Amino acid sequence: MQGKGWVGILGLVLTLGLLSSASLRAAPGDGYSIEDLGLDTASDLVDVCTIEAGHNDYEVAIAFCYGFFEGAANYDDSLVGPKWHRGILCEPPEVTRGQALSVFIQYINANPQYGSESPVDAIFRALVDKWPCTD
């Protein structure tokens, strides 16, 4: 994609963020806030991905969650594309993004000591634990 396209996309994302920033602040104890979209930790990603369906920002948070997860998956795919690089994650072909996300959330909830890790590191920690490459 050309630079102009990225500028347009970034402008749209920033505009949407500014227009909705007031509504993204959740009530105390909700677990989700605009700060979570910075994704400092795996726990932040879990907060975003487990937002209640009735929350005003459910669609935004879930789209962000799946987008982040898809980006991590695409990064992994690009790393293991070269034949010389052995993959560390070998999920079955029928696994859906939703199933992988569920594995990640369950793993972090069961292993809170990894909640302070970077989200990408924790995603792969969880998925490799479930579907390691054995070759």
User: pLDDT tens for residues 94-126?
Assistant: 988 899 999 999 999 999 999 999 999 999 899
| Cα distances (Å, whole numbers) of residue 76 to 21, 70, 87, 109, 129 | 31, 10, 8, 23, 15
* pTM of the full structure: 0.68
DSSP 2: -
- Across 61-116, the runs of DSSP E, i.e. the strands, are none
User: pLDDT tens for residues 13-57?
Assistant: 333 443 333 333 333 334 555 555 677 899 989 988 998 898 888
Q: Evaluate if residue 64 carries a pLDDT over 60.
A: yes
Q: Which comes out higher in pLDDT, residue 79 or 117? A: 117
Q: What is the pLDDT of residue 83?
A: 59
How would you label 38-52 residue by residue, b for 16+ Cβ within 10 Å and e otherwise?
A: ebebbbbbbbbbbbe
How many CB atoms are closer than 10 A to CB 18? 9
- Residue from 57, 55, 56, 33 nearest 44 by CA: 33
In which residue are the tokens 């929350």 written?
55
